[in-house]
Amino acid sequence: MIWKPHVTVAALIENEGRFLLVQELISGRSVYNQPAGHLEDGETLMEAVIRETREETAWEFEPESLVGIYQWRHPEKTKTFIRATFSGKGMHHDTDCELDACIERTLWLTPEEIRTRHDRLRSPMVLRSIEDYLACGLLQERRLAAIRACGLL
């Protein structure tokens, strides 16, 4: 049997310390996730994350950087997911756009609010990518502070 992981993408959109999430109904369970979904045939990762964000949140997403590539095996199913998570900007929200049927609502949550819902996240990749994004921002701030301390800025 040939092993084939599911290739997925996710969007990390931050606005004033809050992250855009979707609450979705999956297998009869209401869970939280970033705007995310599967790569379709003939599609690039960037095209997929832009499409999935629009379909699930009605936001036009402009990817700016790759946060990380994650691998996760579902503990109850024989499915493995490879996920590319991109950070970027929500450029425009189309209030007339109909969302995917499984989406219950979109919401903006702080990292702490997301951490308190850890048992209702669709996968561990949701919080892991946010933590990586936040750590990367802190690292950039420290680099800038060191450059300033050296008098280079």
User: Each residue of 124-142: pLDDT tens digit?
Assistant: 999 999 999 998 875 555 5
> How much is the pLDDT for 144?
54
> How much is the pLDDT for 136?
84
Continuous segment of H or E residues that includes residue 149 = helix 124-149
Mean pLDDT, the chain, rounded, equals 91
Of 149 and 97, the one with more pLDDT? 97
Residue whose tokens read 């599911």: 6
Please give the single-letter amino acid code of residue 126: V
Give the range of the structural domain holding residue 13, as residue numbers without chain letter.
6-149
Model pLDDT for residues 31-81, shown as the tens digit of each residue? 999 999 999 999 999 999 999 999 999 999 999 999 999 999 988 888 999
- Is residue 22 domain-resident? yes
Beta bridge partners of 26: 29
Model pLDDT for residues 67-99, shown as the tens digit of each residue? 999 999 988 888 999 999 999 999 999 999 999
- Is residue 47 domain-resident? yes
- Is residue 39 domain-resident? yes
Distances (CA, A) of 68 to 20, 96, 99, 101, 102: 17, 32, 26, 28, 26
CA dist 14 and 131 (Å) reads 13
Task: Tell me how many domains the chain contains.
Answer: 1
- Is residue 65 domain-resident? yes
- Three-state SS for 82? strand
Q: What is the DSSP letter of 119?
A: G
Q: Report whether 13 contacts 89 (CB < 8 A).
A: yes
Answer whether residue 10 shows pLDDT above 80. yes
- Is residue 1 domain-resident? no
In CATH, what number is assigned to the domain containing residue 99?
A: 3.90.79.10
**pLDDT, mean of residues 19-35:** 96
- Is residue 43 domain-resident? yes
Please provide residue 150's backbone torsions phi and psi, each rounded to the nearest 5 degrees.
-80, -5
Q: Is 9 exposed, middle or buried (0-12, 13-18, 19+ CB in 10 A)?
A: buried
> How much is the pLDDT for 1?
76
